[in-house]
Structure 1
Amino acid sequence: MPESILTATDLQRSYILSEATVPALRGVSLSLDEGSFTAIMGPSGCGKSTLLQLCGAMDKPDSGSLRLAGDEISKLTDEELTLLRRTKIGFVFQFFNLLPTLTIQENIAMPLLLARQSEKIAFDRARHLASQLGIEHRLGHYPNQISGGEAQRAALARAIIHEPVLLIADEPTGSLDSVNGGKVLELFQSLNQDLGISILMATHDAHVAQAAKVTIHMKDGKVVL
């Protein structure tokens, strides 16, 4: 039996907007096994991104329990949360979030450099991943000099360079055409199957969700059957 890499129990999260309390999550529970590839589907505003932010230790729930790789996230200090994100979690976003003043190689290597790895080790690892993802010829370029598909592959390389146990992807194909989107999904499947990286991906596109092994549907801040 595979062990759970992430377990969420009765997560509640609300935000204050114009002095009104707006609930984003209304008691969400889920469990992800090691090596799983899970898609979260639902319309805009259903709570997908909020759930990913909590699972990625970028935010804390108002109540409920969230355990990632044995750590209870809500009990960690800000410093411990930062270390957790740097060592165990990778992030891929819709709009890539590459730093425009850094080369592609520097962008990919950034998580290792922040972790105080030597520049040689970080750049060698970046070069290796870029070669695997077919963008080695772009390492000396800047983000505005490459295509959207190449930028997303660079973002993916940056997300896994520190060998995370969980990869979180929020609408990772939302800014790509169907061809490049399909290539990114193939890369996700390869990372999941060949490297055993657990993936949690949010999407509103049923075709994109088909790349995952399991699909969870959300509506109005809840998981629905």
Structure 2
Amino acid sequence: MPDAILAAADLHRSYAFAESAVPALRGVSLSLEAGAFVAVMGPSGCGKSTLLQLCGAMDKADSGSLKLDGREVTTMNDTDLTRLRRERIGFVFQFFNLLPTLSVLENIAMPLLLARVSEKVAFEKARALAQRVGIDHRLDHYPNQVSGGEAQRAALARAVIHEPALLIADEPTGSLDSHNGQRVLELFQELNRDLGISILMATHDAQVAAMAKQTLRMKDGRVVS
């Protein structure tokens, strides 16, 4: 049986609002095996994004356990969380979050450059990934000079250049038309299949969720199926 890359047990998370606490997660448990591709579905406000933020080590649960690669995330300090995100997790969001003053090539290479990999190696790997996702002809362009589909493919290449164990994707096709959205989802499937990267993706679109291997449905801060 494949090892669990991600294991969450009884996660709770509430946020302060006015003078009360509003629960976002009410005891969520899930497990992702190596090579999993899981879509999380549910209406707005059901807790999808909160769950992804916790699983991506961008936020901390109020209670419960979260393990990535067998390491307990909830007890890590900020330095360890930063290292974990940089080395083991990739992120793709609805809005591409490319740095406007950097070229597409530099944006893709950024995780390796931050990890002090040499420019030569980082740029070589960025060029290879750009070719794989079909934007190698845009490497000298800046984010405002490429289409939304090309920007999201650049964001996807950036997210996996450091070979993470887990890719977190929050509504990755939400800003794209159907053609570009389909192309991006096909790339998710290809990277999941060929590189073995586990993917946890939030979406409200059943057609998007159908591209994953498994679907979890959430309602009112709980996994319901």
Write out per-residue CA displacement over residues 90-137 of structure 1, whole angstroms, 9 at most, x where no aligned residue.
000000100111110110011001111111111111111001111011
Deviation at 1:20, TM superposition (A): 2.0
User: Given residue 88 of structure 1, which amino acid in structure 2 is its aligned partner?
Assistant: R
In the alignment, which residue of structure 2 is the partner of 1:42?
Answer: 42
Deviation at 1:75, TM superposition (A): 1.2
In 2, the alpha carbon distance for the partners of 1:112 and 1:45 equals: 34
State the TM-score, normalizing by the size of structure 1.
0.99
Name the SS of the counterpart of 1:75 in structure 2.
Answer: coil
Write out per-residue CA displacement over residues 56-95 of structure 1, whole angstroms, 9 at most, x where no aligned residue.
0001100000000111001111101101001100000000
In the alignment, which residue of structure 1 is the partner of 2:82?
Answer: 82
State the TM-score, normalizing by the size of structure 2.
0.99
Residue 30 of structure 1 pairs with residue 8 of structure 2? no
In the alignment, which residue of structure 1 is the partner of 2:174?
Answer: 174
Residue 220 of structure 1 pairs with residue 220 of structure 2? yes
- How many residues get paired? 225
Name the SS of the counterpart of 1:53 in structure 2.
Answer: helix
In 1, the alpha carbon distance for the partners of 2:60 and 2:114 equals: 23
Write out per-residue CA displacement over residues 122-160 of structure 1, whole angstroms, 9 at most, x where no aligned residue.
111111100111101111100000000000000000000
Deviation at 1:19, TM superposition (A): 2.2
Write out per-residue CA displacement over residues 183-222 of structure 1, whole angstroms, 9 at most, x where no aligned residue.
0010000011111110000000000000000000000000
Q: Counterparts of 1:1-225 in structure 2 under 5 Å?
A: 1-225=1-225
User: Given residue 219 of structure 2, which amino acid in structure 1 is its aligned partner?
Assistant: K
In 2, the alpha carbon distance for the partners of 1:17 and 1:98 equals: 31
- Which runs of 4 or more aligned residues in structure 1 lie more than 2 Å from their structure 2 counterparts after TM superposition? none
In 1, the alpha carbon distance for the partners of 2:132 and 2:30 equals: 33
User: Given residue 12 of structure 2, which amino acid in structure 1 is its aligned partner?
Assistant: Q
User: Given residue 218 of structure 1, which amino acid in structure 2 is its aligned partner?
Assistant: M
What are the ranges of 5 or more consecutive residues in structure 1 without an aligned counterpart? none
User: Given residue 209 of structure 2, which amino acid in structure 1 is its aligned partner?
Assistant: A
User: Given residue 46 of structure 1, which amino acid in structure 2 is its aligned partner?
Assistant: C
Query: In percent, how many aligned pairs have the same letter?
Result: 74
